[in-house]
């Protein structure tokens, strides 16, 4: 289990008057593992950093900026998955299992 650094806000839309809940995940430069696939990655917090990130008494950017760093390469694993992982409708365990052959499975 791990946590991403993120932000949220609740505000009222001036046009509709509706309450809007908005969320975002903070990203940073990628480590070597993720950098092979993308030019940024989510900020993954260490367990001991979660309380710092969530502490409302930390209200200066200088207190939180040290947390916005790439996660250590040696703490991540990677493996090839089938093409079914590209479709968010495929929400089951088999989609993230490693591909066992050169033939990739397709799920619809």
- List the pLDDT tens digit at each of the 108 positions of the chain: 889 999 999 999 999 999 999 999 999 999 999 999 999 999 999 999 999 999 999 888 999 999 999 999 999 999 999 999 999 999 999 999 998 765 554 444
Residues 96 and 47 in one domain: no
Placement of tokens 């040696």 in the chain? 74
Biggest alpha carbon–alpha carbon distance for the chain: 54
Q: Dihedral of the CA atoms 88, 94, 99, 102 (nearest 10)?
A: -80
Residues 39 and 49 in one domain: yes
Helical residues (DSSP H) of the chain, grouped into ranges:
32-35, 47-54, 61-64
Residues 17 and 63 in one domain: yes
The whole-angstrom separation of Cα 27 and Cα 37 is 14
**Encoding tokens for residue 50?**
């979660």
Number of structural domains found in the chain: 2
Residues 68 and 87 in one domain: no
Residues 82 and 69 in one domain: no
pTM for the model: 0.77
């Amino acid at each position: 289990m791990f946590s991403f650094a993120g932000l949220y806000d609740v505000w009222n839309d001036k046009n509709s008057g509706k309450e809007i809940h908005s969320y975002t995940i903070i990203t940073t430069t990628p480590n070597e593992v993720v950098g092979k696939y993308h030019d940024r990655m989510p900020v993954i917090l260490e367990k001991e950093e979660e309380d710092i990130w969530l502490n409302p008494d930390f209200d200066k950017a200088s207190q939180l900026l040290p947390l916005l760093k790439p996660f250590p390469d040696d703490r991540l694993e990677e493996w090839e998955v089938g093409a079914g992982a590209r479709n968010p409708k495929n929400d089951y365990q088999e989609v993230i299992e490693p591909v066992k052959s050169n033939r990739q499975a397709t799920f619809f």
